Amino acid sequence: MTIAQDVKCHNCGAPLSLKAGEVIITCEYCGTAFNVATDKKFFLKHSIIPSKLDEKGVLETVRRWMSTGALKPSNFQKASKIEGASLTFLPFYIVHINVTTSYEGSFTRTGGNEPRTGKLHKEYYWKILGRRGSRFPTREYEIPLSGKEDFNLSKISKVAKFLNAEFDEKDAEDLAKGEVADNQRFLLSSQVNIFKKVENTFEIEDIEFVHAPVWKVDFVYNKTSYQVLLCGSNGNVIRGDIPPPDQSVGGFFSDLKKAFSGR
C-alpha cells in the first residue's frame, strides 16, 4: 500500500514512495536514506551486499543442497518441483555492543546449593532485521559483512524487491540490548540456574545499516509446498525446509542404500 503523501527526497527532489509502517526510506532515484518520522537524513553508514548469484545459480545451489547432506529424503532433488525464486534486499541493523553482566545466584542442578557470583563480559555484532513481525530466521543468518559495499542503487537488479526499515536505529539498539541480555542469561545457564540478581551494563560502539540479498525459493515435494532461503552473496542456505522422510518400504531401502554408500 502506498500512502499518498507529498514527501520528496531532500537530496534529489524525487517523490519518495512511502509504504505504511516504513520509517527509514531509501530514495529509489539517488539512494539517499531518510528517516521520514523525523524528516531528517539518516546518518548511519548504509551499505549493501550485492547478490553474486543470479536465478540460475540459485536454482543450481538449491538442487545441490537437496541432493547432499543427511536426513533428507533420498528422492528429494528428483521429486521436488521448483516453483520459483525471488530476491529481496532485507534491511539489517548491525549493532556493535559490549555488555557486562553481573550476576548473583546459585547452582542447584547437581543436588547441592552452590552460590555463584561473577561477571560475564562479551562483545557482539548483533543483527536486528528492521521489519516488524517478521518470521525471518535472523539468528541463523551469518550475514557476509566482508561482501558489503557503500550503498549504491546499481547493485540492485531490476527484478529484486527492496524493503525499507520499519523502525529506526534507536529502536534497533533497544531490541539488541534485550536480545543480548537474553543471550547472556542463556550462556550463564550452565553455571547458574537460580538468579538473585542480574545486571547488564551496555556500551554501544557503533550501529550500521546494511541491505543484504536473500533469495527465497519455493518448491513442491509430495504435493506440499516448502521454502528455502539462501544468501545471494555466498550461496549459503540460511534455512531450508526438509520434508519428512519417505515412509514407504521402498523409501526405507533406498535411504539404507544411500547411508551405506556414504552419500
> Interface with Zn ion by CB under 5 A: which residues?
9, 11-12, 14, 27, 29-30, 32
Residue placing its CB nearer to Zn ion in the complex, 25 or 85: 25
**CA distance linking residue 11 with residue 24, whole number of Å:** 15
Q: How far is the CB of 13 from Zn ion (least distance, A)?
A: 7
Q: How far is the CB of 16 from Zn ion (least distance, A)?
A: 8
C-alpha cell read off for 58: 540459485
Would you put residue 28 in left (φ > 0), alpha (ψ -120 to 50) or beta?
A: alpha
Q: How far is the CB of 27 from Zn ion (least distance, A)?
A: 3
Q: How far is the CB of 70 from Zn ion (least distance, A)?
A: 49
SS3 of 260, please? helix
Task: Give the β-pairing of 161-162 and 194-221.
Answer: unpaired
Q: How far is the CB of 149 from Zn ion (least distance, A)?
A: 19
Q: How far is the CB of 40 from Zn ion (least distance, A)?
A: 14
Q: How far is the CB of 72 from Zn ion (least distance, A)?
A: 46
Exposed e or buried b per residue across 90-107, where buried means at least 16 C-beta atoms within 10 angstroms of its C-beta: bbbbbbebebebebebbb
Residue placing its CB nearer to Zn ion in the complex, 29 or 136: 29
Residue placing its CB nearer to Zn ion in the complex, 5 or 117: 5
Residue placing its CB nearer to Zn ion in the complex, 29 or 125: 29
Residue placing its CB nearer to Zn ion in the complex, 46 or 127: 46
3-state secondary structure 149-213: EECCHHHCCCCCEECCECCCHHHHHHHHHHHHHHHHHHHHCCCCCEEEEEEEEEEEEEEEEEEEE
Residue placing its CB nearer to Zn ion in the complex, 15 or 84: 15
**CA distance linking residue 168 with residue 41, whole number of Å:** 12
Residue placing its CB nearer to Zn ion in the complex, 29 or 162: 29
